[in-house]
Structure 1
């Protein structure tokens, strides 16, 4: 089942499959969440996600990389 990212997900915490925080959704752009994180985390997530990165502080997350969306976080379908 695919989870749909929406504007309601802005400001949510993003965690990996193990529950480790890997950023915060800063905006939704063309159906993808833009996630801001520290430089080291961004570099790591850019290699683990098929969408890659946007810049040195932001990476993209599309629906197919999200395992679950709760009231306060996006859970990625990847391990850190």
Structure 2
């Protein structure tokens, strides 16, 4: 069973890490229950593609709830990809 998460403004400022604990980016805003992430410079294209983050002029990328494994007080951890 896939756990779902309620994304709130409390997530703004949290770092986003992959399943191995490597930094992916930081939540910069939440819109309509979706966290938007400012990606780390040099984030690998392969990981960005798996997250559905295309290179655009946007400053932040939407994080799909289905990609989230856990939310703590300090970070959002992504599922193993």
Q: Moved runs in structure 1, 4+ residues, more than 6 A? A: none
Name which one, 1 or 2, has greater alpha-carbon Rg. Answer: 2
Q: CA deviation digits over 1:7-57, x for unaligned, max 9?
A: 11000010001110110000001221110023432744430114x346454
CA RMSD of aligned residues (A): 2.2
Partner of 2:31: 29
TM-score by length of 1: 0.78
Segments of structure 2 that go 5 or more residues without pairing to the other structure are none
| Structure with greater strand percent | 1
TM-score using structure 2 length: 0.77
Q: When the two structures are aligned, how many residues end up with a matched partner?
A: 78
Q: Which has the higher helix share?
A: 1
